[in-house]
A and B are shown apart, each in its own frame.
Chain A
Amino acid sequence: MLRGTELSYGYASDRGDGRSFSLREVSVDVPRGSLTGLLGPNGCGKTTLLRLLAGILTPRHGSVALNGRPLASLSRREIARHIAVIPQETHPAFDYTVMEMVLMGRHPHLGPLQLEGPADLALAREALSATGTEHLAARAYMTLSGGEKQRVIIASALTQASEVLLLDEPTASLDLGYQLEVATLLTRLNRERSVTMLLATHDLNLAAALCDRLVLMREGRVLAQGPTNDVLTAPMVRQLYGVVADVRYHEGAGHLTVIPVSRER
């Protein structure tokens, strides 16, 4: 579905010798219908990888293909019709209503002078109801709680009607209750609407609970990728974060759990 091949990228502040690139020869595969987790320590290049896969950044080397077509051959609008992005936090400079924020998802489907019609409004209402936020439609986005905001941003991405959703630590700023709420919503969208997802996160247990596949990154490279149960092992966690952890199957939760024990010396 979405495949990055030997992607390298360096920011303007990086030295151009290739050694200081934020991302070096990263190849990832996000199969159709999968919910893939992207794990790795701070600064390992997760966000850069997501931005490259979304076409927001252009790789120095390598290429991204969407359904076999190179991203570089598509316009921004075309890409946005297929790929939506959910950032960690969204801070609009003006006080948009929830409905306005959600309707902005229709942007890649409308002409430059075209206003939304009844069909777009229907899609937005459906997205609001799918994320349990219909009652917030007339509220100002800025006045919502963190969890409500994130659900509204997910609704906006649903209104975009894309098959792929790239999420950059969508639950990082949320408390436990909201984390669970957003996690449940994502699983449901993946199962019921077969939205393909790539989810960058620091929360190993969240990844274990949600994701059927994992990509592990360290220092701008891919350490391992594959089915969650194969990849999420104690030696891998140790290699990834330098942390000794207890990884075991939790009967009650029905998935692997990771309990950090100590910092590796």
Chain B
Amino acid sequence: MSTLDSTVAVGASALTRPVRVRLALAVGGFGALAVATCLLAPLVGSTTISLARVFDRSIPFSENVDAQIFFIARMPRVLAGAVTGATLAAAGVVFQAMLRNPLATPFTLGVSAGASLGAMTAIIFGTAIAVGPLSIVPLASLLGAGLAAAIVYWLATLRDRAMSTTVLLLAGVTLNAFFSALILFLQYLTNFAEVYRAMRWIMGDLDVGSFQPILAVLPLVAIAFAMFALLPSSLNLLSVGSDAAAARGVNVARTQRLAFVSASLATAAAVSLAGPIGFIGIIVPHLVRLLVGVDHRVVLPASALFGAAFLVACDVGSRTILAPLEVPVGVITALLGGPFFLWLLVRKG
């Protein structure tokens, strides 16, 4: 399998800089972009507010309408976008390296289909139930995602301790199709209003309403990112080949397990928060690789930061393109992502 000829885009000199320099530049650049996007995105909306007024300390918060709109009405949605974007982009990087396949996405292995089936089941059968302040839908989607990941993991390790990437891919694709069939079956049995709610969930929605749902998934996201931090140099070698990795001191079976569990956990958390927003996990890593090269020690943190900025920007688009109507953000990312994916495919030959 060939890959992007990234050197053409960047020029050789940028890629021969020591990795610590490239890492600092990438984190600085994409970090600044992410922060700027998150500060500017809440300014866009039906009521115009000023950033200067928002941060004007002389006005008490209770009287500062701009600050209230900024922090209470709009910030949760922006943060949900940032968390979801960062998590899906990083999970995409990890899955692509682990599967040695640049076209893999966080949803390739069936995690999102499992989450959708879980959410769907909850929407149809258990809307009245709530666990504490949380609705049952995210919990059910988390459970569905976990179930899908567990089945795929079990199948891939059935014959050998080291995972077979072929079995992983085939099992994932099959599970995706199977769960999608179950989702259609459930839809067929249900009344129109619930089908509409379920469809809306599957399109992805960052309008989480408050900080509560974000705080609920944050521990899962934090655990996943702590695991991601241990992976990049092993992922570099794993993407060269599992024997090559083992011969250079990588514990292949352990790295694959860590990669699979962390990326599945991240995907499950993101999907339970915002629904299965597609294509972030493939567009963002590829754009980042065009800019910073393919070393995972740079690509992983850079993709997380750019993923945050990218999804927040897409969400601004979803709120403004047909305003006052809202286009589901999953539709925006798919409209951008579909052609991008095909372009990648053709370009790679």
Instruction: Give the interface of A toward B (CB within 8 A).
Output: 12, 51, 54-56, 75-81, 83-85, 87, 90-97, 99-101, 103-105, 107-108, 110, 112-113, 115-116, 121, 137-140, 142-143, 160
B264-297 vs A, Cβ < 8 Å mask (1 yes, 0 no): 0000000000000000000000000100011101
In the bound complex, do residue B7 and residue A138 qualify as a contact, i.e. CB atoms below 8 Å apart? yes
A-B contact pairs, 16 of them (CB 8 A): A54-B247, A76-B246, A87-B243, A92-B3, A93-B3, A94-B3, A96-B236, A96-B294, A100-B15, A104-B237, A107-B248, A107-B249, A108-B248, A113-B230, A116-B19, A142-B2
C-alpha gap A92/B241 in the complex (Å): 7
**Least CB distance, A109 to chain B, in whole angstroms:** 8
Asked if A85 meets B247 with Cβ closer than 8 Å, knowing A93-B97, A96-B240, A104-B240, the reply is yes
Specify which chain A residues have a CB less than 8 angstroms from the CB of B15 in the assembled complex.
97, 99-100, 138
Asked if A12 meets B160 with Cβ closer than 8 Å, knowing A54-B247, A93-B101, A138-B15, the reply is yes
In the bound complex, do residue A79 and residue B243 qualify as a contact, i.e. CB atoms below 8 Å apart? no
Complex: chain A residue closest to B4, CB-CB = A95
C-alpha gap A9/B7 in the complex (Å): 43
B13 contacts partner chain A, Cβ-Cβ < 8 Å: yes
C-alpha gap A75/B233 in the complex (Å): 17
Specify which chain B residues have a CB less than 8 angstroms from the CB of A103 in the assembled complex.
19
Contact of B240 among A12, A90, A113, A121 (CB under 8 A): A90
Specify which chain A residues have a CB less than 8 angstroms from the CB of B7 in the assembled complex.
95, 97, 138-140
**Least CB distance, B257 to chain A, in whole angstroms:** 14
Specify which chain A residues have a CB less than 8 angstroms from the CB of B97 in the assembled complex.
93-94
In the bound complex, do residue A112 and residue B249 qualify as a contact, i.e. CB atoms below 8 Å apart? no
In the bound complex, do residue B233 and residue A112 qualify as a contact, i.e. CB atoms below 8 Å apart? yes
How many residue pairs link A and B with beta carbons under 8 A? The number is: 123
Asked if A94 meets B289 with Cβ closer than 8 Å, knowing A107-B237, A116-B19, the reply is yes
Specify which chain A residues have a CB less than 8 angstroms from the CB of B100 in the assembled complex.
93
Specify which chain A residues have a CB less than 8 angstroms from the CB of B5 in the assembled complex.
95, 140, 142-143
Asked if A96 meets B295 with Cβ closer than 8 Å, knowing A56-B246, A85-B247, the reply is yes
C-alpha gap A87/B244 in the complex (Å): 8
In the bound complex, do residue A56 and residue B294 qualify as a contact, i.e. CB atoms below 8 Å apart? no
C-alpha gap A84/B7 in the complex (Å): 28
Asked if A115 meets B23 with Cβ closer than 8 Å, knowing A94-B289, A97-B293, A137-B16, the reply is yes
Asked if A95 meets B240 with Cβ closer than 8 Å, knowing A83-B247, A100-B295, the reply is no
C-alpha gap A96/B237 in the complex (Å): 11
B229 contacts partner chain A, Cβ-Cβ < 8 Å: yes
| Interfacial residues of chain B within 204-249, with CB under 8 A of chain A in the complex | 229-230, 233-234, 236-237, 239-241, 243-244, 246-249
**Least CB distance, A36 to chain B, in whole angstroms:** 18
B18-37 vs A, Cβ < 8 Å mask (1 yes, 0 no): 11100100000000000000
Specify which chain A residues have a CB less than 8 angstroms from the CB of B23 in the assembled complex.
115
Instruction: Give 4 closest A-B pairs by Cβ, nearest first.
Output: A108-B249, A80-B249, A138-B12, A85-B247
B102 contacts partner chain A, Cβ-Cβ < 8 Å: yes
Told that A56-B243, A115-B19, A138-B15 touch, could you supply 8 new A-B pairs with CB distance under 8 A?
A84-B248, A85-B247, A95-B3, A97-B16, A100-B15, A104-B237, A113-B230, A140-B6
